[in-house]
């Protein structure tokens, strides 16, 4: 993708909307059936668009639980760098660099993986991955669009199950 267009800006708006509706903190274009190398994240009311993101520096390592809007209700522990620098284009197609730590760093690594066709369960051990996939198989019918839908009565006060 060489440049941002109005159509792609609308796509990012739609992706934020989809992500908020699913109570997620990150969403990558392939999760909504698009091929662009583009993702949106929002942690603590700080919406960020990354286009063609590249991790240019990575430091530290920490294990943390992850979930994914594309495989709802499945969680697993993944090792990620704790501090990264990402180079990307923003919503207007302007280049920028972003330093991220902790949850934002984890979220960006998870979304950038999506752009390379990789899911967090690919990091799990064989047995854990198999268990996660079996759980997802059994629940798939409840998620027709492959994205988590949260019933309105569950939205209030739902914490600690952030999906990316």
In the complex, minimum distance from the CB of residue 118 to Zn ion, in angstroms, rounded to a whole number: 10
Is residue 143 helix, strand or coil? coil
57 CB contacts (<8 Å, ≥6 apart)? 83, 84, 85
| Structure tokens that stand for 108 in this block | 């960006």
Interface with Zn ion: number of residues (CB under 5 A): 2
C-alpha closest to that of 40 among 128, 108, 124: 108
CB 69 within 8 A of CB 22: yes
Taking CB under 5 A as the binding criterion, the range among 61-69, 77-85, 89-97, 128-136 that sits at the site for Zn ion is 61-69
In the complex, minimum distance from the CB of residue 73 to Zn ion, in angstroms, rounded to a whole number: 13
Q: Does 164 bind Zn ion (CB under 5 A)?
A: yes
In the complex, minimum distance from the CB of residue 68 to Zn ion, in angstroms, rounded to a whole number: 3
Catalytic residue at 111?
yes
Which H or E run contains 130? Answer: helix 126-139
Taking CB under 5 A as the binding criterion, the range among 67-75, 100-108, 137-145, 147-155 that sits at the site for Zn ion is 67-75
C-alpha closest to that of 109 among 93, 122, 120: 120
CB 164 within 8 A of CB 68: yes
Q: Does 8 bind Zn ion (CB under 5 A)?
A: no
Q: Does 68 bind Zn ion (CB under 5 A)?
A: yes
In the complex, minimum distance from the CB of residue 22 to Zn ion, in angstroms, rounded to a whole number: 11
Smaller CB separation from Zn ion, 11 or 107: 107
- Positions touching Zn ion (CB under 5 A) are 68, 164
Q: Which of the residues are catalytic? A: 111
């Amino acid at each position: 993708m060489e440049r941002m267009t109005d159509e792609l800006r609308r796509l990012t708006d739609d992706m934020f909307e989809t992500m908020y509706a699913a109570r997620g903190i990150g969403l990558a274009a392939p999760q909504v059936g698009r091929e662009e190398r583009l993702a949106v994240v929002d942690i603590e009311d700080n919406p960020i668009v990354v286009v063609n993101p590249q991790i240019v520096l990575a430091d530290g390592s920490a294990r943390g639980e992850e979930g994914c809007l594309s495989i709802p209700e499945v969680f697993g522990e993944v090792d990620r760098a704790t501090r990264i620098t990402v180079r990307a284009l923003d919503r207007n197609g302007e280049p920028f660099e972003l330093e991220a730590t902790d949850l934002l760093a984890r979220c960006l690594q998870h979304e950038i993986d999506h752009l390379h066709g990789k899911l967090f369960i690919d990091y799990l051990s064989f047995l854990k991955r198999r268990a996660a996939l079996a759980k997802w198989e059994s629940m798939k019918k409840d998620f027709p669009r492959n994205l988590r839908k949260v019933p309105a009565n569950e939205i209030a006060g739902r914490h600690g199950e952030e999906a990316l």
